[in-house]
Amino acid sequence: MSDPSLPEGCLTVRAPLLNLHIMPQAAANWLITRTSLLTRLNNHADAASWEDFCDSYGRVVYGVAMKAGLNAADAEDIVQETMIAVARHLPQFRYDPQKGSFKSWLLTIARSKIWDCLRRKQRERRFDAPPPEGSSETSLLSRVPDENPPDLAAIFDGEWERGLFEAAKEKVRASISPQQYQIFDLHVVREWPVEKITATLGVTANQVYLAKHRVSESISEEVARLERATTS
């Protein structure tokens, strides 16, 4: 799949980067698709920008492909094919909010690659021999997604929103005290009861409720800001 005309960063996407927890620095740069970034990506020699881009957006495409019913190996291929298509067609992309966002353009490319893979799987299953009787193996028929087409747009939106939330959370985390974020993480993310938090951290119940309110509000505001920045 190598192509000397494509950016180096685009060709080094690795699955472990796609399905693990988003690191703070990557999250801080999550889905920033302003005109400035699109301009930088037109320079295929800018490997650093392409690596960040493929890591961030590759997570979304990977998640969509997996939820569409593909296995990990196929999802990795979809990510690679989508990133290569973006690299090839980006010079012709014109950012015009009146005609649609970069988010919509990326979805169109990813959806095409996923459907191509699903159709290929459907064709392959015609020639799949059933496993021996009593065997624990599964036939290709049982591994291919069912014939009800998944709503890829809805799945894409879900993965996109998840990414925005993670980015906002890390942005807020960097701007508040470690204790305040720890309280929020334990109470909201890990769902610890207030009593356990107060006993563990030596804080009052009022501090727990206050941290939950302030951090949640800050994250909501940051999600809204990122949404405006990435879809306008």
Within 10 angstroms of residue 74's Cβ, the number of other Cβ atoms is: 18
What is residue 13's predicted lDDT score, i.e. its pLDDT? Answer: 46
Domain boundaries, the chain: 1-127+151-174, 176-232
- DSSP E strands: which ranges in 24-86? none
At residue 166 the predicted structure's pLDDT band, cuts being 50, 70 and 90, is: confident
What is the distance between the alpha carbons of residues 88 and 176, in angstroms, rounded to a whole number?
41
Judge whether 33 and 53 are in contact, CB under 8 Å: no
Within 10 angstroms of residue 104's Cβ, the number of other Cβ atoms is: 12
| Model confidence, pTM | 0.62
Comparing CA positions, the residue from 66, 37, 36 lying closest to residue 54 is 37
Within 10 angstroms of residue 61's Cβ, the number of other Cβ atoms is: 30
Residue 204 has pLDDT above 90, yes or no: yes
Handedness of CA 165, 167, 170, 174 (dihedral sign): negative
What is the distance between the alpha carbons of residues 125 and 90, in angstroms, rounded to a whole number?
35
Q: Which CATH architecture has domain 1-127+151-174?
A: Orthogonal Bundle (1.10)
What is the arithmetic mean of pLDDT over 213-223? 94
**Dihedrals phi, psi of 129, to nearest 5 degrees:** -80, 140
Comparing CA positions, the residue from 159, 149, 136 lying closest to residue 69 is 149
122-144 pLDDT, tens per residue?
A: 887 766 555 566 554 444 444 44
Residue 30 has pLDDT above 70, yes or no: no
Structure tokens that stand for 223 in this block = 């999600």
Residue 77 has pLDDT above 90, yes or no: yes
What is residue 24's predicted lDDT score, i.e. its pLDDT? Answer: 47
CATH T-level topology, domain 176-232 = Arc Repressor Mutant, subunit A (1.10.10)
What is the distance between the alpha carbons of residues 8 and 101, in angstroms, rounded to a whole number?
25
Residue 224 has pLDDT above 80, yes or no: yes
